[in-house]
């Protein structure tokens, strides 16, 4: 029996993890809305993914409320529904105001308009450095603070909409080799850690997409689990020992 296609909206999906998620969903036959505030990036990824006819590329700034409404309108117009919203847009150069700008009325309107009463859906907020206790990273004070707030925000929404058919989830992809991780200020010590525990976005996306499509409750998704951390540490130690021998 053929699985029913879903419509997935992914913000910040013109490059990195967001783009790799989009590619995986498209390969599985799902409808995907990609967006970025950079028209140049959207043009580039549209050209790269031109073989797919179930994709809608949009130039959207998620810090602009009217743009967010346009994102919803265009998604519904093209695909008739939004089943999964993945808030992946992030930067370490600003304060992630796309969520902080909304008041309670705005949030209620967005959630109720997009999903409640329309067969439900899934909202996934992508975590990052600072989302979890003792996860602070030097040089990422603003970025980490907003990611911690995002996790708290998601947990609160779970309680506020507990009696609805909308599932609020967090996704922790772990360290990924993207321009958010690798900056001009990356030290040699940080580089060593990144090389041990870091993963490429396409690898993470392949694993996480299958888990995302199976979501039927509020939950936390995590790629870099403790078992993976231990495995990567052991691999690193054994590899260095092998080189010495």
* pTM higher than 0.95: no
Distances (CA, A) of 148 to 13, 88, 142, 152: 22, 14, 10, 6
What's the confidence (pLDDT) of residue 148?
A: 77
- Residues 125-153 have a mean pLDDT of 71
Q: How confident is the model at residue 129 (pLDDT cuts 50, 70, 90)?
A: low
Give the whole-angstrom CA distance, residue 47 versus residue 43: 6
DSSP-derived 3-state class of residue 31? strand
Give the whole-angstrom CA distance, residue 132 versus residue 148: 7
Q: How confident is the model over 39-67, as pLDDT tens digits?
A: 999 999 999 999 999 999 999 988 788 99
Q: Measuring CA to CA, which residue among 51, 50, 54 is closest to residue 42?
A: 50
Distances (CA, A) of 20 to 23, 86, 99, 208: 5, 13, 23, 11
Give the whole-angstrom CA distance, residue 80 versus residue 76: 4
Q: How confident is the model at residue 236 (pLDDT cuts 50, 70, 90)?
A: confident
Q: Measuring CA to CA, which residue among 199, 196, 198 is closest to residue 236?
A: 196
């Amino acid at each position: 029996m053929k699985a029913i296609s879903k419509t997935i909206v992914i913000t910040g999906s013109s490059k990195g993890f967001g783009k790799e998620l989009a590619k995986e969903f498209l390969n599985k036959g799902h409808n995907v809305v990609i967006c970025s505030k950079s028209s140049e990036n959207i043009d580039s990824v549209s050209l790269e993914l031109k073989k797919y006819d179930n994709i809608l590329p949009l130039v959207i700034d998620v810090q602009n409320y009217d743009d967010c409404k346009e994102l919803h309108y265009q998604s519904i117009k093209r695909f008739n529904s939004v089943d999964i919203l993945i808030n992946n847009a992030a930067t370490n150069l600003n304060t992630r105001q796309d969520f902080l700008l909304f008041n309670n009325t705005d949030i209620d309107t967005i959630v109720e308009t997009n999903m409640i009463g329309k067969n439900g859906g899934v909202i996934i907020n992508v975590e990052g450095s600072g989302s979890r206790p003792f996860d602070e990273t030097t040089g990422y004070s603003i970025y980490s603070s907003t990611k911690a707030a995002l996790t708290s925000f998601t947990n609160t929404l779970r309680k506020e909409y507990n009696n609805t058919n909308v599932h609020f989830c967090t996704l922790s992809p772990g360290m990924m080799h993207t321009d958010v991780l690798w900056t001009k200020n990356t030290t040699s010590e940080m580089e060593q850690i990144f090389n041990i525990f870091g993963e490429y976005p396409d690898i993470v996306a392949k694993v996480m997409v299958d888990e995302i499509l199976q979501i039927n409750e509020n939950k936390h998704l995590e790629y870099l689990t403790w078992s993976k951390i231990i495995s990567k540490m052991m691999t690193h130690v054994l590899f260095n020992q092998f080189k010495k021998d």
